[in-house]
Amino acid sequence: MKFGADLKNSIVPEWQHGYIAYDELKRLIKELSSLEGGAKESAEEDFFMMLEDELEKVNRFYLEKIQEFDGELKVLEGRPRSDSNSALAAGGVPSDRMVALHAQIGQLQAFVWLNTQGFEKIMKKYDKFMGLRHTPGAKSPDFEARLRGEVFKSERLDACLEKFKATRSQLSSDVGALEMKLISGSANKPLAEEISARLGVPLSPAKVRRFNDGEVNIQLCDSVRGCDVYIVQPTCPPVNDHLVELLLLISAARRASAASVTAVVPYYGYARQDRKDRSRVPISAADVARMMEAMGVDRVVCVDLHCAQIQGFFGPRTPVDNLFAAPIAVTYFNMKDLVKPVIVSPDAGGVARAKLFMEGFSRLPDPPEVSLAVILKQRVEAGVVGTMHLVGSVEGCDCIIVDDMIDTAGTLTAAANELRNFGAKRVFAFATHGLFSGPAADRIEACVLEECVVANTVPLNPAVKEKTRKIRQVSVGKLVESAIRGIHCGTSVSALFNADLGADLLA
């Protein structure tokens, strides 16, 4: 789903007049790119005037809502404390009103995130259509820096939320019952903020600091007693630091009397060590699962585990939801006008993953004919590939190499170059987790890959962005948000494994 449609599906109907006019700005950019001379200058001036008007509109609406919330909180502060055993104590505050007010504050947080995304995407489109992308004249970097100082990006919403929490604790003794708390570690804040905005649930503040000797210091800044806590923390590089953060966040929530603790781990570190393949080695994926259970986790949500049996390393009292990013990627690649697409597994162990990816195309409304190929490697020694053999035909075809992660990109780039030697027309790649360690960015830039698509389970290092323009991220925020909503509301999560939902999950 493109952002314009995503925005329409996510807006609060009563607030529609306060959102960015994304489609209109996008239309002006397309018109602008087709003009020349004085007409172009005039149209460009009209575009930037409208952009300023939209910013002013969003800022004004944001202030109006903040003032509404402040006014209502002042009224509530004058009410007597209500008894948790009755919805309406004499002159007290109805509990459903407190819930509704909390939901509206969450909706305003979603409003801020959606408009931020809208303005950033509009300016990137402007740079793209005007030929300014990746040039010194690109306007999006300066515009994004300016956005951070706009009124609707201020900390007034956070202050309003803190005031609401203080007021609620004064008015009601039944604060945490069945409430959702969303907490983020330091591993992937942007993804946590997207999930928070889509849920309409503000992120609960947590202090994650380091002592001088490197020890992790955790403190939850909000009460979680009686709440359902969801901790968003992939164990991406630096893996050990983020793993310890995750364990201590789980421990802190459990010791603070949370009703349940769900660890949302989009990238599960140590997953590659899932069996004892040599003498005297640990099964690290199982050991990480044991540590999480020892800390008191109730449930785990992951995205594309390296191998499905890792779910079995957790006991039967700790269910694991392994979500798939492939439907999102299938929908993305289907918009590429592929010629005789071939899904390629870079090794024999990934054939099942590539086959599932290929089957995803068959579920599309107008499915293309897709075939499967496998590259068989013969290693001279560990980490050194000797020869490669192709099983299948790629002559004159567009190829998509499918894997679960990209680390140093050695296997990926060697496979891409080999496919070109076998006659492939264009070569793309998709992997859920983009680690891009060491020389990965340089290798991707130097190889024949047209585009390397990864999910945002792992934040993309700015240094990698500077070295190559071939990497594109798709978001799993909508996928994870849907899983959390299903778990919290007690509805089925199995629908998220359906490839038919890919178009709805592509954000």
CATH code for the domain in which residue 306 is found: 3.40.50.2020
Same domain, 383 and 360: yes
Cα angle for residues 77, 196, 489 (degrees, 5° grid): 85
Q: How far apart are the first and last CA of the chain?
A: 6
| Inter-residue contact 363 to 392 (CB < 8 Å) | no
Domain-embedded: residue 507: no
Beta carbons within 8 Å of 269's beta carbon, 6+ residues apart: 234, 235, 236, 239, 242, 243, 288
Same domain, 250 and 185: yes
Pairing of the two strands 320-323 and 471-474: unpaired
End of a domain among 294, 323, 352?
Answer: 323
Cα separation of 186 and 249, whole Å?
11
End of a domain among 140, 170, 200?
Answer: 170
Tokens of 420: 């070109």
Helix (H/G/I), strand (E/B), else coil: 169: helix
Same domain, 7 and 115: yes
Same domain, 310 and 357: no
pLDDT at 89: 41
Same domain, 111 and 213: no
| Tokens 């340089």 found at | 442
End of a domain among 111, 138, 170?
Answer: 170
Task: For residue 236, give the amino acid letter.
Answer: C
Domain-embedded: residue 485: no
DSSP H or E stretch at residue 346: none
Domain span including residue 294: 178-274+283-323
pLDDT at 88: 38
Beta carbons within 8 Å of 273's beta carbon, 6+ residues apart: 281, 282, 283, 284, 285
Domain-embedded: residue 501: no
Helix (H/G/I), strand (E/B), else coil: 265: strand
Domain-embedded: residue 479: no
Cα separation of 76 and 170, whole Å?
10
Domain-embedded: residue 292: yes
Pairing of the two strands 206-210 and 216-220: antiparallel
Report H helices in 172-276.
189-199, 239-255
Domain-embedded: residue 504: no
Same domain, 162 and 200: no
Kindly report the pTM of this predicted structure.
Answer: 0.86
Same domain, 200 and 132: no
Same domain, 360 and 427: yes
- Neighbouring-strand partners of residue 203: 182
| Tokens 């509704």 found at | 100
DSSP H or E stretch at residue 272: none
pLDDT at 384: 58
Same domain, 313 and 390: no
Domain-embedded: residue 40: yes
User: Cα-flanking dihedrals φ and ψ of residue 435, to 5°?
Assistant: -85, -40
Same domain, 183 and 308: yes
- 13: cis peptide before it, omega within 30°? no
Domain-embedded: residue 502: no
Tokens of 458: 């792992």
Cα separation of 163 and 172, whole Å?
14
Which of the residues 165, 336, 377, 425 is marked catalytic?
377
Cα separation of 211 and 168, whole Å?
34
pLDDT at 1: 54
Same domain, 367 and 348: yes
Tokens of 127: 């740079």
The per-residue pLDDT string of the chain (507 residues; one tens digit each, 9 = 90 and over) reads 578 888 888 899 999 999 999 999 999 999 988 888 888 899 999 999 999 999 999 999 999 999 999 988 888 777 665 554 444 344 445 567 777 888 888 899 899 999 999 999 999 999 999 999 888 899 999 999 999 999 999 989 888 888 888 887 776 655 555 589 999 999 999 999 999 999 988 899 899 999 999 999 999 998 899 999 999 999 999 999 999 999 999 999 999 999 999 999 999 999 999 999 889 999 999 999 999 999 999 999 999 999 999 999 999 999 999 999 999 999 999 989 999 999 999 988 889 999 999 999 988 888 899 999 999 876 655 445 567 889 999 999 999 999 999 999 998 999 999 999 999 999 999 999 999 999 999 999 999 999 999 999 999 999 999 999 999 999 999 999 999 999 998 888 887 776 566 556 665
Number of structural domains, the chain?
A: 3
The question of whether 377 is a catalytic residue gets the answer: yes
Same domain, 316 and 212: yes
